[in-house]
Amino acid sequence: MSEDKVGDMKDSSSSPGFAHSASKISPETSSSPDTHTTHKDTSYPTHPPPSVNDSSITIRVEDVDAVDPRRTSRLRVDTYCCPPHCLCWYSIRRGTGVSKRWKRYDAWFGRVGFGAKGLVYAFIGGMTCASASDLHEEGEFDESPQGAFVLIGQFPAGPALLVCMLLALWCYAIWRLWECVTFQGADATFGKYRNFFAYRLSPFVSACVYLAYSYYVIEILINQLRALEPSAFPNSWRTTRVRRAGLFVIGIAFAIACVIQLQGAFTRKWHYEMNWSKCKTKYERWLLLITGHVGYLGRAGIFLFVSVLVFKALGSEPVQQAQNTVSSGLNLLSDSGVGKVFMMIIGIMTATYGFYAILCIYYRNFPTPPPSGRSRRATQT
C-alpha cells in the first residue's frame, strides 16, 4: 500500500465524522469509565404494579441503577399468598368493601334474601290484621316469623316451600355477614364509631337474627310442620337477678331498634340505598317512598311493644305469653277495642314493609353504598 493511501486513512480516522460513525457501531468499546453510558433495556414492556384491589399477589418493582451502575434495572417480586381479597385479613381489618369481582354475587345473595324478608313481614302483617279483626276461631294467630313459617308449611307443597325459604334466609344472612366483614358502606364523612355501629355491628346482629329464623324453619321441618311449644321468655328470665338484668338489656335493645326504625320512618336515612335512576316514572318513586316510610313505622311499632312486654315482665307479676315474644308483645293490644284498632294499623304497616322489601329486589343498590357517596376505602387509598 502506498504511503499516500496510508496517510489518507489516518487523516480520515482522526476526523469527527469517522469518530461519530464508530461510536454508533460499538459504544461499549471505550475502556474509559468516564465515557461509559447506560442504556435502559426497553425490549420488555413495563407495567405498573397491581394494587390490592386488583389481585391477591403484590409485586414490588425496585430500580437499583443508582446502587449498581453495572446493571440497568432489576425486578424484585415479593409474593404473599392470601385468601380471596374479599375474605382476607386486610379486608377485615381495614374495611376495603366488597371487591369488584365479587359484587355480582353479593347482589345475588342480597336480592334473594330481601325476597325472603319481604315474605316474612308480609305474613306477619297479615296475621296481625287477622288477629285484630277476630277472623280466627281457634285461638290466636302467632304474629311472628315463627308463625309465618308454620303458616307457609300448611300450604300445598309446604315442606318444599319451607326448604326454599330456608335457603333464602341463609342468603340474607350471608349477604349481611359479607358486608359486615368487608365493612361495606362505611362513609368517609362518618366517625370511627358511627361507621362501626352502622356497618359492622348492625349487619352482624341482623345476620344472627336471620340465622335464628332459619333455625325455626329447621325445627318446624323436623317436627313435621307442627307448631312449636310456646316460648317461656320473658317470664322464665324473672327468677334471678342476673336474668332480670339480661331482661333489662334486651328491653333497651328493642327500644333502640324502635328508635332506629322511627328514623327510617321520618327521615331520608334510607334513601341513599335506592337506585332512583330505575324509577322511570314519578309513580314508581312515590311508591317506594310511601311503602318505605310506612313500612319502617310498622316495624317501629312491633319493636316498641316487644320492648314494653320485656319491661312489663320485670314487674311483680308475670306477663301473658303467646307462642312467640313478638306475638306476645302485639297481643298486649288485643284486650280493648282501641288496642285492636292500633293492632290493625300496625299489621297493615308491617305488610306494607314486606311489599317494600320485595320492591328492593329491583330498586335497591347492591352492595350498600356509603350515604355521602364517598367511601372510607377511597380516602385510605
State the pLDDT at residue 315: 81
- Are the C-beta atoms of 50 and 77 separated by less than 8 Å? no
Q: Is the pLDDT of residue 32 over 50?
A: no
pLDDT per residue as tens digits for the range 67-113: 444 444 443 433 344 444 444 555 566 667 788 888 999 999 999 99
Q: Of 303 and 380, which is predicted with more confidence?
A: 303
In whole angstroms, give the CA distance from residue 147 to residue 124.
8
Question: What stretch of H or E contains 205?
Answer: helix 202-222
Contact 308, 329 (CB under 8 A): yes
Helix (H) or strand (E) holding 299: helix 282-313
**Residues in CB range of 307: below 8 A, 6 or more apart:** 251, 252, 254, 255, 258, 329
Query: 25: Cβ–Cβ under 8 A, 6 or more apart, which residues?
Result: none
Burial class (CB in 10 A: 0-12, 13-18, 19+), 188: middle
Give the SS3 label for residue 375: strand
Residue 316 has pLDDT above 90, yes or no: no
Q: How far apart are CA 21 and CA 270, in angstroms?
A: 75
pLDDT of residue 80: 43
pLDDT at 10: 46
Contact status, residue 231 vs residue 324, Cβ threshold 8 Å: yes
Q: Say if residue 207's pLDDT is above 80.
A: yes
Q: Is the pTM of this model over 0.75?
A: no
In a 3-state reduction of DSSP, which class is residue 277?
helix
- The grid cell for 126 is 297479615
Predicted confidence (pLDDT) per residue in 3-30, tens digit? 454 444 444 444 444 444 444 444 444 4
- The label of the residue with cell 293492632 reads 343
For 358, half-sphere exposure in the C-beta direction (CA atoms, 13 angstrom radius) is 13
Amino acid letter, 144:
S
pLDDT for 100-128, tens place per residue?
888 999 999 999 999 999 999 999 999 99
Check: CB of residue 183 under 8 Å from CB of residue 96: yes
pLDDT higher than 60, residue 347: yes
Q: Give alpha helix (H) positions in 314-375.
A: 325-330, 337-363
Question: pLDDT value at position 163?
Answer: 93
Above 70 in pLDDT, residue 307?
A: yes
Residue 357 CB contacts under 8 Å (≥ 6 apart), including other chains: 114, 115, 117, 118, 121, 295
Cβ contact 102:56 at 8 Å: no
Average pLDDT for the chain: 77
Q: How far apart are CA 194 and CA 332, in angstroms?
A: 34
